[in-house]
A = this chain, B = another copy of it.
Amino acid sequence: MIRKHVVLAADLAGTVVFAIEGANAAIHAGLDLLGVLVLSFVVALGGGIVRDLLIGDTPPSALRDWRYPTLAFIAGLVTFFFYTQVAVIPPALLTTLDAAGLALFAVAGAEKALDFQMGSLSAVLLGTITGCGGGVIRDLLLTHVPMVLVANIYASAALLGATIVVVGRRLGCPPAVAAVLGGVVCLALRLAAVRYNWQLPRLA
């Protein structure tokens, strides 16, 4: 019971953080108020919506529970109308919160995929998509090559976290242990990668 509340609280918190980031990106790109709200929604909920479409769990949970879109829109409105105050949030704090949101979404996405009887590889991919999908849609809407494809250990951290969840569950770990382990590793890897500027190899 307590666990359920913790998960819900964490999920809503991740939604708020991602929505603020979406609103920030929209404001920097010169979008109007509607564009800000769309990007808040898409960054916060797009990854989960793509996951649910792929799993076949329609309508996506983000459209069945009004609290998620409402929260994303409120976060977008607050960011827009109190932009000077929101801009004061230290980048390091935002990065940390974003990494926490990434870890949370990747773990939750992998768990949901397993609950829907997806195979191990697919569950890992769906966890990663849940964590990164919103940011990819944001970049496409702003006509940038998606940031996660170009540089930084970001999707890779989500991938590792989701892998730990799936492998842990397959090996018979208690779900809560696998989830915490996967989330902590994803968070730690992401923060270390930012701190030490780790990059994946590339050729060109």
Interface residues of A (CB under 8 A from B): 26-36, 38-39, 49, 53-56, 58-60, 63-64, 66, 69-70, 80, 83, 116, 118-122, 125-126, 140-146, 148-151, 155-156, 159, 199-204
Contacts and interface: CB of A to CB of B under 8 A. Distances in A.
Given A140-B140, A203-B27, A70 B121 contact: yes
A125 B64 CA distance: 12
Given A32-B149, A155-B34, A83 B53 contact: no
A117 B126 CA distance: 27
15 contacts: A26-B149, A27-B203, A29-B145, A31-B150, A32-B149, A32-B202, A36-B202, A54-B59, A55-B59, A59-B122, A69-B125, A70-B121, A140-B140, A140-B143, A143-B145
Contacts of A33: 200-202
B34 A149 contact: yes
A143 B146 CA distance: 9
Oligomeric state, in number of copies?
3
A58 B59 contact: no
A143 B143 contact: yes
Given A31-B149, A150-B35, A66 B200 contact: no
Given A32-B201, A63-B119, A69-B122, 11 more contacts: A27-B203, A31-B149, A31-B150, A32-B149, A33-B202, A54-B59, A63-B126, A66-B120, A80-B203, A140-B141, A142-B145
